[in-house]
């Protein structure tokens, strides 16, 4: 049987082999709502493998990461997710693009490259301001669609060789952007070398990524899945960029994914002043003992307690033979289904924009249905696994509550809405 993943033995930031497990988690199946494998899942036994999801922390640099790496060709060549379906994300990228244009002397002559550009949502804002734009994304269908829509996109993985080619053909980049992409890349040395090559002398690399400290502090379990190989914190990031002749000169906390950061990087000794925000965030991480085992042990305990609470709430419905469903078929949903032991219990998963027909894993194959079918299936309770959007979901389906249905919001703390 073909192996679709391998286990990394060294820290992907500093290369140390001293990387013990920090948080044990249930393994996940390879197939997810983000990749177009639904039709192949039963036909190819290799895709039915579960792959370890345990979190590891490097004792040398402090980087929090997964050590199991799924073949990126499997994950991204048929990637289905598009930015524009995420509530509020298009507007967010529009605001960020407007801010970043101020970093360029003359936007009409500026060049912007986006790593992991997806459907070109963000690059479109730069193009509207007269800038030359180029996207890079390995999902071939998505890249081709973006190009047809006017955003030239290379269907490729970014590395040092591609950076040299782009610099020769497109020119040095005034701005390089990577939104929720850096954490998905195993070989970060290639990224660092590529950025050093591609950035103009006064260029800036701006990235957004889930904040590892918030993942641990807030138990953001649904952000932990195989696409997210790294859970970055300010201290390890500063050291990583320095190794590649780059400088993390500013960092900001942002709201996305329940807690993220936006980092600003230039060539070492570049023209922009250093912000005190980097040092301040590193000091917070140290004060919270994120360089010690305690917070990770607390996260492990919190997951166990959350699982027990959810199972207790569902026990009565199971005993009565009532239908239980979930809402939100994102890749994070797979994590929550596995960690909370929900697979055999769920009759369906509802979603406003379903990307595939089933969520499958060990002992379960759950149909994914459009949310309007809630009123046809009439489950006794629905767990809102897309918990960050619980408020608009509940508002949209007040009729379900009025008819006696119950919503359970599992995170950040378990809450119940409706029911009789």
Q: Smallest Cα–Cα separation from 19: which of 182, 229, 304, 284? A: 229
**Helix, strand, or coil (residue 341):** coil
Identify the bridge partners of residue 265 per DSSP, sorted by sequence position.
205, 248
- DSSP per position, 266-288: EETT-SSPPPTHHHHHHHHHHHT
Handedness of CA 157, 162, 166, 169 (dihedral sign): negative
What's this model's pTM, rounded to 2 decimal places?
0.91
Q: What is the pLDDT of residues 377-411, one digit of tens each?
A: 999 999 999 999 999 999 999 999 999 999 999 99
Mean pLDDT of the 88-105 span: 80
CA nearest to 237, candidates 172, 164, 178: 178
Q: What is the pLDDT of residues 321-338, one digit of tens each?
A: 999 999 999 888 999 999
Mean pLDDT taken over the chain? 90
pLDDT higher than threshold 60 for residue 352: yes
For the chain, which domains are there? Answer: 83-287 (3.40.50.150), 294-418 (3.40.50.720)
> CA–CA separation, 372 vs 330, rounded Å?
17
DSSP 89-156: HHHHHHHHHHHHHTTSS-GGG-EEEEET-TTSHHHHHHHHTT-EEEEE-S-HHHHHHHHHTT--EE-S
pLDDT band at 37 (very low <50, low <70, confident <90, very high): very low
Please tell me the predicted confidence (pLDDT) of residue 146: 94
Distance of CA 396 to the CA centre of its chain: 26
Among 181, 179, 183, smallest CA distance to 230 is for: 183
Q: Residues of the chain with pLDDT > 70: what percent?
A: 91
The predicted-structure confidence for 229-263, as pLDDT tens digits, reads as follows 999 999 999 999 999 999 999 999 998 878 899 99
Q: Residue 417's beta-bridge partner residues?
A: 407
Dihedral of alpha carbons 247, 168, 134, 181, sign: negative
């Amino acid at each position: 049987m073909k192996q679709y993943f391998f286990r990394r033995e060294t820290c992907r930031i500093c290369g140390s082999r001293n990387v013990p497990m920090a948080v044990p988690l249930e393994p996940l199946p390879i197939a997810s709502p983000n990749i177009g494998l639904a039709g192949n899942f039963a036909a190819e036994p290799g895709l039915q493998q579960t792959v370890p999801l345990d979190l590891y922390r490097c004792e040398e640099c402090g980087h929090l990461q997964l050590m199991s790496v799924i073949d990126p060709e499997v994950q991204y060549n048929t990637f289905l997710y598009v930015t524009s379906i995420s509530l509020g994300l298009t507007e967010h990228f529009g605001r960020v693009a407007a801010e970043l244009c101020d970093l360029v002397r003359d936007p009409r002559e500026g060049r912007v490259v986006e790593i992991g550009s997806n459907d070109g949502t963000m690059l479109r804002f730069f193009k509207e301001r007269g800038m030359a734009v180029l996207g890079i994304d390995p999902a071939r269908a998505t890249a081709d669609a973006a190009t047809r829509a006017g955003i030239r996109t290379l269907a490729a993985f970014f590395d040092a060789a591609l950076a040299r080619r782009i610099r020769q053909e497109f020119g040095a980049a005034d701005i390089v952007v990577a939104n929720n992409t850096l954490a998905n890349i195993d070989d970060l040395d290639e990224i660092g070398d590529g950025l050093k090559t591609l950035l103009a002398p006064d260029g800036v690399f701006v990235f957004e990524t889930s904040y590892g400290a918030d993942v641990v502090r807030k138990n953001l379990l649904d952000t932990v899945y195989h696409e997210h190989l790294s859970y970055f914190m300010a201290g390890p990031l500063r050291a990583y960029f320095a190794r590649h002749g780059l400088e993390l000169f500013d960092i900001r906390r942002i709201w996305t994914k329940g807690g993220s950061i936006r980092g600003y990087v230039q060539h070492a000794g570049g023209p922009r002043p250093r912000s005190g925000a980097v040092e301040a965030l590193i000091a917070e991480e140290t004060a919270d003992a994120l360089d010690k085992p305690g917070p990770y042990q607390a996260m492990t305990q919190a997951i166990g307690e959350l699982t027990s609470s959810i199972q207790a709430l569902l026990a009565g419905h199971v005993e009565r033979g009532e239908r239980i469903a979930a809402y939100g078929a994102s890749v994070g949903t797979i994590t929550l289904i596995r960690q909370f032991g929900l697979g055999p219990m769920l009759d369906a998963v509802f979603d406003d924009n379903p990307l595939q027909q089933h969520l499958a894993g060990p002992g379960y194959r759950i149909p994914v249905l459009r949310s309007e079918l809630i009123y046809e299936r009439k489950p006794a309770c629905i767990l809102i696994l897309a918990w960050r959007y619980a408020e608009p979901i509940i508002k949209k389906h007040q009729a379900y509550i009025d008819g006696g249905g119950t919503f359970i919001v599992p995170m950040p703390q378990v809450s119940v809405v409706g029911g009789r």
